[in-house]
Structure 1
């Protein structure tokens, strides 16, 4: 991007990303097109094949409790009554990559909808038929989604996102970085959850600084 922008590393099945969703929404509302967001799907647990056992459920529930305390986001704990659930994040990530082909805004919107479906509504977003229903609810064409969801190119595009996360050194989600569009320098804004009262003012100052620097350069 040739303007100040953000790069957001997230996953539809990351509870801390769900907690961070209102912060992303606040950023979009505050800055709009002045500060576009590029979404990279992190791949929290892609390709998982082992069902969750009781120990995994206990660890996951503890994470959910912490996210609720920090963010106020609502969780449906009936999830933990599921038997044999396989926590494979790749299908949901792939669905968001498909939406991103239409626009960055579309991808962010679907990511938010998937967060609420999984955490707030206890819907199995690892299942393609469920994903197709949610895609339809979000205003997308479910037939187009179904026609392309298993395409090799979409699978590879999703894998490239995972590789970008690894190559960038991102080790957890959410991670948010800022770029000025004029060089390859990026600034880490947060690696992990932060409340909007901390993030939005920092971003406002950073954006003012970037715009001031750009004006100075244009005057030279």
Structure 2
């Protein structure tokens, strides 16, 4: 029996970045019969328009709130000085899917590379040049990655994943949903302690007939 834990995210979601350490620990300790399936929700569609100043301020406030909430989380605020911010996460989302084309191991590596480029190196993941550099850093075949990034196949896959998130009524990222027996059970995201999520998942399964933890 395989049970699915859906993880809904966006590579340019700062709260998803804050959740990464706890998520990694959760993945390591999940029972073997539970698999994590990552679904990209797509926060912001394609645009070349500069991000409104008020939105820039709101996102910076979010970064500060995360730093106050999650230990050891630091952001490089130079991003807002040396870039022209664009509210578009779809390019980075496509980059994750293009990386996945070359092997599932590359999915997590690309997420990490994009987050590091954005939050630590003050690079702009809305730009193809940044995404190509990330692909090079994680060891992808860059020519294939570049072709896949703009392909109809990847665009279709992105739209399918966005539709999946919406069909599950996911409205915020990161989000976790445990699927079993045709039912969906929300799992509370804990940025500080992955064990609380383990206990919640075990509690759900213990109440489900035919499941042994």
Instruction: State the partner residue of 2:89.
Output: 89
1:218 corresponds to which residue? none
1:100 aligned residue: 100
Structure 2: how far apart are the matches of 1:125 and 1:67?
A: 20
Distance (whole Å) between structure 2 residues aligned to residue 7 and residue 16 of structure 1: 17
- SS of equivalent to 2:30: helix
Aligned counterparts, 1:47-86, within 5 A: 47-72=46-71, 73-86=73-86
Does the 8 A contact of 1:39 with 1:108 survive in 2?
A: no
2:169 match: 169
Answering whether residue 188 of structure 2 is matched by residue 203 of structure 1, we say no
Q: Aligned to 1:36, what secondary structure does the other structure show?
A: strand
TM-score of the pair, normalised by structure 1: 0.85
Q: CA deviation at 1:105?
A: 4.1
C-alpha distance 203-136 of structure 1, shift in aligned 2 (>3 A): farther
Distance in 2, matches of 1:105 and 1:38, equals: 13
**Could you say if the C-alpha distance between residues 49 and 139 of structure 1 is closer, same or farther in structure 2, counting changes exceeding 3 Å?**
same
- CA separation in 2, counterparts of 1:212 and 1:119? 44
Gaps of 5+ in 2: none
Q: Deviations over 1:89-114 (max 9, x none)?
A: 00100011122334444323322332
How far off is 1:53 after superposition? Answer: 3.1
Structure 1 portions without partners, runs of 5+: 216-220
TM-score by length of 2: 0.87
CA gap of 1:123–1:210, structure 2 versus 1, over 3 A, is farther
Q: May I ask how many residue pairs the two structures share in their alignment?
A: 210
Q: Does 1:213 align with 2:210?
A: yes
Who is 2:159 aligned against?
159
